[in-house]
Amino acid sequence: MSGNSFGTLFRITTWGESHGKGVGVVVDGCPAGLSLEEKDVQIELDRRRPGQSAISTSRQEEDRVEILSGLFEGKTTGTPISMLVRNKDARSGAYDAFRTCPRPGHADFTYHARYGIRDHRGGGRSSGRETVGRVAGGAVAKKLLSQEGIEVLGYVTELGGIKAQIPDVQHLSIIKELAESNTLRCPDPMAAEDMLKALDQTIKGGESLGGVAEIVAMSVPPGLGDPVFDKLDADLAKALMGIGAVKAVEIGAGLECAQMSGCQMNDPIVWDKGGVSFESNNSGGILGGISTGSPVICRIAVKPTPSIASVQRTIDLSTGEPAEIEIKGRHDPSIPPRIVPVAEAMVALVLADHLLRGKVVRV
C-alpha cells in the first residue's frame, strides 16, 4: 500500500525510478511565507549528485530541479510544492542480466516477492536515485529550520574500519568546513586520507566498504516530540533506517549505553545563562522522546555497497536454476559520503515536522 509519504504536518511524497522519466517530490504542509527558490534546492541536490569524484558512480546527471508549484513571487504560499528532476544518463542495458537473477544484498528479490513485477533497470524504485526527492524535500525543510536558527549537518565518522576523530559538536562550523573539504565528507583530514587509500584498494579488488555517519542538529529547542509513539528519536530512527543500506541507528551514547552505569549515563541538569542545560549529552538531545535543547545527535551504520565486481552466487527466477553474476554497472564503492546529504535531509524533515507539531500542544 501507499508508503511513499513521510511526515505528518510537513509531509513529502516522493516518486520515480532510476531509469524512468525522472524523479521528484511533492512537499505538502510547508507553511506560507517562506522565501524559497530553486537555488536553495539545487545546492542540496548538487551535494548528493553522482559523478562528483573518483569514488562515486560515474553516472552523469545534471540533476537540475524544476519547482512546478507552490511558490509565488519567491515565497511559499502554503500549497503543495512539486519538484521535478528529469533522468538523463540512464544506461539500462547494463541491467539486463539482473532481470531474472536477483543481485545479493539488493532489493531485487524482495520487490519481486512483494509486487510480482518490477522495473529492474538500475534497481527501479529501490535505486539510490530515489533519494533525489528526499533531498529536494529536505532542502525545503532545512530552509524552514534555518528560520528558527536550527542547523543540520552530517559527516562520515568511520569508513572501512578507519575511525575519525571528531571535534566537539559545539564547533560545528569547523566540522562543517573540514567535512565539506574532502570527497569523503570526513571532518578528520588524516583519517580521510587513510580512508581514501583503503577505498583505492577496495576498488582495485572489486570490493566495497561500509562505514558510519553522524548527523547533528544544533539549536533544536526543547519540547519537540510526541510521545508515546511519535517520539522525536522514534521518528528519527524511522527516517534514518529507511535509507537504503542503513543497518543501525544510534541516538547519543547509542550502543555504548549498554556498558554504562546510570551514574555515567545520566546527564546532570544545570542552570546555564538563565536557561536549563545539561552537563553532558549522552541522551543525544532527547529524553522521553522529546528534545532537551542539547544538540540532537544521531549515527547510522551503512553497509558496504552490495554492487561488487566479484562473482556472486544467486538464482535465476525464470529457470529455477542457480546462477552467478558479476555487477559491472557504475557504482559507488562506499556509500556513506553520499548518504550524508540524504541523512541530513531526513533529519531535517523530521525536525520540520515536529517543529510544526510543537505549535499545537498547549492551550
Q: Map the footprint of a second copy across residues 165-204, applying CB under 8 A.
A: 202
- Angle, helix 336-357 to helix 38-48, in steps of 10 degrees: 140
Min CB(64)–a second copy separation in Å: 14
- Fill in the amino acid letter for 100: T
**Which is nearer to a second copy, 174 or 311 (by Cβ)?**
311
Chain position carrying cell 500549497: 79
Q: Which long-range contacts (CB under 8 A, 24 or more apart) does 84-87 make?
A: 84/22, 84/24, 85/16, 85/22, 85/23, 85/24, 85/45, 85/132, 85/136, 86/21, 86/22, 87/16, 87/18, 87/19, 87/20, 87/21, 87/22, 87/23, 87/61, 87/129
Among 235, 329, 337, 340, binds a second copy (CB under 8 A): 235
**Which is nearer to a second copy, 189 or 288 (by Cβ)?**
288
Q: Map the footprint of a second copy across residues 262-291, applying CB under 8 A.
A: 262-271, 276, 279, 282-284, 286-291
Q: Which residues contact 21 (CB under 8 A, 6 or more apart)?
A: 86, 87
Min CB(248)–a second copy separation in Å: 4
# of chain residues touching a second copy (CB under 8 A): 160
81 forms part of the interface with a second copy (CB under 8 A): yes
- Largest Cα–Cα separation, the chain: 71
| CA-to-CA dists, residue 140 to 151, 170, 320, angstroms | 13, 25, 47
Q: Map the footprint of a second copy across residues 82-101, applying CB under 8 A.
A: 82, 84
Binding segment toward a second copy, per CB under 8 A, in 44-52, 105-113, 167-175, 186-194: 105-113
For 320, list phi and psi in degrees, rounded to 5: 75, 15
**Which is nearer to a second copy, 187 or 304 (by Cβ)?**
304
Q: Map the footprint of a second copy across residues 331-360, applying CB under 8 A.
A: 356-360
**Which is nearer to a second copy, 70 or 187 (by Cβ)?**
70
Q: Map the footprint of a second copy across residues 214-233, applying CB under 8 A.
A: 222-231, 233
Among 54, 241, 318, 326, binds a second copy (CB under 8 A): 241
Reduced to 3 states (helix: H, G, I; strand: E, B; else coil), residue 95 is helix
Min CB(88)–a second copy separation in Å: 14
Reduced to 3 states (helix: H, G, I; strand: E, B; else coil), residue 220 is coil
Number of residues written out for the chain: 363
Find out whether the peptide bond into 246 is cis, omega within 30 degrees of 0: no
Query: Whole-angstrom Cα distance, residue 345 to residue 348?
Result: 5
**Which is nearer to a second copy, 173 or 284 (by Cβ)?**
284
**Which is nearer to a second copy, 21 or 171 (by Cβ)?**
21
326 forms part of the interface with a second copy (CB under 8 A): no
Chain position carrying cell 577505498: 199
39 forms part of the interface with a second copy (CB under 8 A): no
What string of DSSP letters covers 64-75? -EEE-SSEETTE
Query: Whole-angstrom Cα distance, residue 358 to residue 238?
Result: 19
Min CB(287)–a second copy separation in Å: 5
Reduced to 3 states (helix: H, G, I; strand: E, B; else coil), residue 181 is coil
Among 94, 97, 203, 257, binds a second copy (CB under 8 A): 257
51 forms part of the interface with a second copy (CB under 8 A): no
Binding segment toward a second copy, per CB under 8 A, in 51-59, 165-173, 176-184, 299-307: 299-307
Q: Map the footprint of a second copy across residues 107-146, applying CB under 8 A.
A: 107, 109-111, 113-119, 124-126, 130, 144
Min CB(217)–a second copy separation in Å: 15
Among 95, 314, 342, 343, binds a second copy (CB under 8 A): 314
